[in-house]
Structures are given as C-alpha cells and as structure tokens.
Amino acid sequence: MSTPFRSLQRTEAEARAALLTVESYDVSLDLAADEATFGSTTTIHFDSLGGPTFVDLKPVDVHRLVLNGRTLDPDTLDRGRLPLETASGPNELVVEATMRFRNDGEGLHRSVDPADGRHYVYGMSFMDAAPSVYACFDQPDLKAPYTFTVRAPEDWTVVGNAPATNPEPGLWRLGPTQPLSTYFVTVVAGPYHLVRDEHDGIPLGLSARQSLAGALEADAEELLTMTRQCFDEFHRLFGIRYPFGDYHQAFVPEFNAGAMENPGCVTFRDQLIFDTRVTRGLKMSRATTVAHEMAHQWFGNIVTPRWWDDLWLNESFAEYMGVRVTADVTEYADAWVDNSYLRRQWGLTADLGPSTHPVAGNGAADAVSALQDFDGISYAKGSTVLRQLAGRLGDETFFAGVIDHLESHRFGNATMHDLFASWEKAGAGDLAGFTDQWLRTAGPDTITLDRAAGTLLRTPPADHPADRAHSFRVAVAREGRWEVERVAVDGPETTYDAGDAPVLIDPFNDTWAAAVPDAATVAALPALLPDVEDPALVAGAWNNVRTALHLAQVDPAALVDLAVARFPVEDTGDFPHVAVPRRTIPWLFQTLLPLAPTGSLERLHEAVVGRLATLEAGSEEQLAAFRAAIRSASDPDLLRRWTTETPEGIDADLDLRWRVLVRLAVLGATDAAELDAELAAAPTAAATVEHTRARASLPDAEAKAWAWSRFTGDVDVPNYELEAAGLGLWQPTQPELTAPYVDRYFVELPATAAVRSGWVLAQAAEAFFPFASLERSTLDRARALLDDPALEASVRRRLADCTDRLARMLAVAEAHPR
C-alpha cells in the first residue's frame, strides 16, 4: 500500500531555500543484499541560518538518524518528512535506511528481463521520487555535488551522473558531480551491455539489457553519429562546452517517459533500441529524443528552474532545439514533419481541454499540482511559441540571450523572468506583450474560414480572452495545384477571399491555433490529398481534420472517405500499447472508427491492402501499411496466414507476430493457452507486454477479470503491463463483457491511489477509462466522480481529460449517428 506522502508546498520550498545552502551529498547504496529492498546511507553537509526545517525521506525502515552528532527519533518521520532543528552554520545529517525497489518506473526501479531472468536497476528521481532512493532536500533550487558509493553484484556495471571507478569487484564509486538538483540524480546498475566511444574529448557510452546486446550493437553507430553531430551543433550554437564529464545514454526497461535528461547519464525507454524492424518515422522520433535530451544538458541542467512552474522552459526549449538540431545536422532533415504528426494534436487537445493552463506563470502551489501541468502544453505549445520568438528575434539575438542566461546562472537556478531579461538585454526589446498573450494566457485561438463573407475568423477561448496576432501560411488548391500564401491575422476578422478553392489553414504549424477546415475543403480533400507530394502539407491536412473532429465540426464519414482515399502510411511511428493516440493511424483506430458508420473498418482494410500492393517492397510505408492491415483485418484465416506468408519486403518477426495475435484475440480466434504458449516460446519484454494486451482483449469474462485484477492492484505488475491490460480490456466489439466494468471503474478508481502513486497512477486511470462505452450515462458517472473532493490530484486531472474526450466523442456521435 502506498503512503499518502505530503506534497511540497511552494511556500515551504521558498522558506527552506532561504534557510539552507547544501554543500554536498554522500550516498551509499547496497544493491546486492536483497531483491526487494536496498540499503541507503546518506550524509548531507549543509549550512543553515539556524532553526527548524525538514528533510525528505520515504523508507521502508529507518536504522539511524544523526544530526550534528545527536541521534534523532525515527518516530518523528511523518509522511515522508523528517523534522530537523538545525544549528546556525555548518550541519551534518546522516540517514541510514532501507528503501524499496519499485516497479512503477520511479525511484529505484528494478526489473527482471523475462528473456533471461537477469535483474536491472535504474534511478528515476523526477518530481518527488528522489526521497525513495536517498534522504534529501527535494526541491530544484537546493543544488549540490553528489558522491555515490554503490555495492552491487559482481557481474553488474554501475553508471551515473559522474564517471565511475570500480576499485574492487562489486564496489563502484562515482563523483563528485557538478551541482545537481535532486530530480536529476540517477544510478543505472545491472549486467548491462556497454558500448563506449569518444568525441571531441567527451567519453561517450551506450547501454542496454543483455538480451538487447545485438540490437544495441546494430543501432550504436547511428546513435553515436547523431550524438556527435548534436554535440558539434550545440557547441556551435551556445559556445559553451558540455560540462558534465562522460555522456552516457542508458536504455532501460519499463521507463515511463521517452527519456530523462540526467546530467552525464541520460535514461531512455529501451523500446528505442530496435530488436525488430521499425519504420523510419520511429527512428526519426528517436533521433529527436536524443537531441532533446542533449539540449537539456545546457537548458535545464546547467541552469535549472527555481520552481516547478518554470519547468515548461526546460521542455519547450529542449523540444524546439531537439527538432531544430535534428533537422539541421542529422540525416533526418524532415524532423519537423514528424514533429507535426507526433506533437501537434497532443498539445492542441490539452490546450482545448478543461485542464488547459498557461504555458507559464501557473503558480504551481505544490509539486503535485505542478506535475499535472506537465503535458502537451508544456512541450508542443511552448516549443511552438519559442519557435515563433526565435523567428521574430533572429538567431543572433535569440542565442545571445540564451548564452547570457546560461552564463549568468551557471550551475544555479533561474526563472522565466531571468531568461526574458537576458533576451531584452540582447536587443529583443520589450517582450511583455508577447509573454502576456502567448505564455500567460491559456487556450488556443480558433481560426476558421467564412467563405461566404470572404474572411478568416479568429475566435479566442471564451474563458481566456486574448488578442493574439498570427502570421502563418495557408495552402490553397486552385485547378488541382496547391499554392502557398502567407496571411496575417491580427483581429477578429481578416479579409481573405479564396473563392471556391479548398483552403488548409496553417498546415505548416507557423502559429499556435486550432485551425479548422470548412466543409468545402473537407469534401474536396479525398480527391486532392492522394496527389500531394509535400509531406508537411499532408501532415497539416490531417491535423486540420483531426482538430475539426475534436471540435465536432466534421462528419466522421467524411474522414473515413479521406482515409480510404489516402491512408496516412507516411505517419509511420507506432508504439502499439501507448494509450494516447498522438499519431494519425492510432487515432484512426482509437477515435475515428468508434464514431464512423458501420462498415468503415472493412472499407479501411480494403483501402490499406490496396495501398499495400502499390508500395515499394522493404519501405517503411509498406511496413506501416501492413501493420494497419493487420489491425483492421476481420478474417482469422488471413491473419494466421500472415504469420508465415508476408508480402515481399516484410519479415514475419516477433513484433508482427504479436500484432497478429492481439488482433486474433480481439476477434476471439485464439485463447489464453495459445497466447501463453507463444510467450513461453519467446519471452521477451515486448512480448510480455503484448501478451498482456492480447489476454485482456479476449472476448470472455475470465479475460476481463484477469485484466481488472491488475487495475485494482490485486495482481501487481510493472507499469507497461498495467497500461496494456487497460487498453486490451475495452474493446468496442465486446460491450456485453465490458458493461459491468463501467460502473466498477468509477466506484473503484479512487482506491487505486492506495496501491500505486505518481506517474503510473495517472497512466492507469487513463488506460482503464471506459472510452468504449459511448453512452451519456457513462459521461454522467465520470462528471459525478470529478465532483468528489477526496479524489487524488493526478487521478482527477487525468479523469478530467478523459471525460472531456468522451464528451467530445459523444457530441460527434449524437450529431452524426452511425
């Protein structure tokens, strides 16, 4: 059972920062003694003005607490806080405790690779997880150097935030590091396979589980080449050398995020080491992730936000720079197109939802509330706004301001005001109006074409009045050819006469707005889009119509017509078990098809199989089309044939086999025994997750109960398997089986806060939400639960967003019955 730890209040953090200066952390971890827990001894040297404060600590058991030579009572530890009465001047605190390994992707996560039974550990200290690894003053503006001593099994390797030495078998020493915030601290330990290299005096490293050793070796040259290219470009742009010693990139199992920017040791989800064939789109996403985390080494790691409400600066800046640098210096010159598919709708959906918030200046009264605002607005909207600002200022002024900011606050903390002051100092002029309109006002403007009046209409959010000036391109189809024009929209109505021509508004993501195509454009797209060769324009067209559906301003049947005319196989990145349909193909299956007329799935299947025959053998488009063909197939015999007889250019690898098995499970054309046997034959980590998804998808009561036991915590499984169980459970074709779980979800969701916490608590709330129940009564139940004041904050936020999505789907369904 999880303990209701207290969330750090901003006022508490400010008071503690005013009282303390942390000089150093010395942390000893014993990872070798037990598989469930580990020993943690922390010595903190800090100066104080004198008086009461507290240290953060989330142990299984406390063995020794000593402050300035005086033993403290362990019983004073209360909900993760140990009270301290500090002396004026230097202080020393020693905490000896036992901590629990976790399996939710936070703290010190320990996993067992099903492929070979080896154990792996990594640290994820983000937000409030660090105190479950070591005692600390857990807030971003109390930075200090760290020294780690780690005892591990003798066949393990240990890496972390500083270069490691191994003075004797099983003993590792790391540090001291540069000054770090607590949320950057990591240790990665286990029998990892290592690849080492060097570039420009910087030692480089890669690591992954032994079962991925061959895949890591195959991917290493591409990863290292991108790393070298990005280092050269960041050094050129910033004029400041990377200061954290080694640069290790650790690909670790069951990681919640895409990656985490820990100085010296970046951690990535190890799905980004490809042990089966993937598309170029997924490789491009990996490239931008690598560049994103490298950008953080300067913006975020050298200079860190003082408090969590400025965390958007880290992510928006890294998002912008990561895509820009990838496009400029790596083989993935089309990275902005991939970003359009992957990020645009994620950010817009968040900004159009009930939980919208300003990019900046949210206040963030405590750490938990700050985490709720860590979303597509922080990444996609913020990076778009920074891209606009960079275009307005020009590179010379933009980077002069960034460099001044980095040098003025090196290894310290700063705020948004500090950064904008640096830009103004560099010659940007007064940026107050820009920040007020774009960063401090929530919600996007909606831009539509009033064809009859010959005007573009700019409508600000009703609850968030704004007066934003937009400059963007439109694409106009005249006589079968697309022409690109630039327009400026600086008022509620702007003259724009397109005549009868179809118009796509802001297809190239020049501004931040909800661009909605009119009915004439939507009707014309099925005939026009198949001939469009510009991939950015294709992405923009799909984003336009996705926004229109989200706002219930288009008939789903029209979008099925568009998908049939040009199935979006160019949008090729795909993690099959991720809950949020960020890309177009997952969105088609998860959002559009449940709203579309009967027979739409069959139409899509026929279209994609037809498209498959026209695509180059071995191309990523062919692979994406074949995956979509599997997902849309309704013939079990065809699916089974595809496990051995694939089109030329496609190998029947383990990934495709499990895609087929998941689809067979949904159709009721397999059973638990066959799925269990398939997993036993090749028990990889990816297969374990897809086995969970397939088991939960089976159309029988036992399968649904099996999945539900994971939601309630009666069966404890790692984070990826938990999410997969939820996604498998809710199948639109199985309403009789899933109907009892609609009520159970709303009754039992609040209690899940007693069995899990943090990131995975919110993930489970979304993965198990009954989107398949398109009923007004389901929406009413969701809204009623939102009124419960006792609902845990992260669950409330995720439930609010899911409820909004369901409400929008119902609005479409009621306006356009199937």
Residues acting as catalytic residues:
293
289-299: b (≥16 Cβ within 10 Å) or e: bbbbbbbbbbb
Distance, in Å, from the CA atom of 94 to the CA atom of 108, rounded to the nearest integer, reads: 20
Distance CA 192, CA 209 (A): 5
Q: Residue 223: helix, strand or coil by DSSP?
A: helix
Q: Output the CA–CA distances (angstroms, integers) from residue 148 to 15, 133, 252, 617, in the order listed.
A: 28, 12, 20, 51
CB 656 within 8 A of CB 627: yes
Answer yes or no: are the C-beta atoms of 351 and 381 closer than 8 Å: yes
Q: What letter would DSSP give residue 73?
A: P
Tokens in use for 43?
Answer: 């010595």
HSE-CB of 351 using CA atoms within 13 angstroms: 32
Taking Cα atoms as reference points, which of 56, 52, 55 lies closest to residue 86?
A: 52
The structure tokens listed for 746 are 């709303």
Give the long-range contacts of residues 335-338, CB within 8 A, separation 24 or more. 335/284, 335/287, 335/288, 336/509, 336/536, 337/535, 337/536, 337/539, 338/281, 338/284, 338/285, 338/288, 338/573
Nearest to 508 by CA among 549, 551, 464, 539: 539
Q: Burial, 170: exposed, middle or buried (Cβ in 10 Å; 0-12, 13-18, 19+)?
A: middle
**What does the block give as tokens for 378?**
């922080």
Task: Say if residues 803 and 355 touch (Cβ distance below 8 Å).
Answer: no
Q: Compute how many other C-beta atoms are within 10 angstroms of the C-beta atom of residue 495.
A: 9
Distance from first CA to last CA of the chain, Å, rounded?
44
**Residue 191: which of 38, 36, 32 has the closest Cα?**
32
Please tell me whether residue 94 adopts helix, strand or coil conformation: strand
CA 178 from chain centre, in angstroms, equals: 27
- Identify the bridge partners of residue 93 per DSSP, sorted by sequence position: 44, 67
Q: Which two tokens stand for residue 338?
A: 């991939």
Beta strands in 334-480 (DSSP E): 412-414, 445-450, 455-459, 470-478
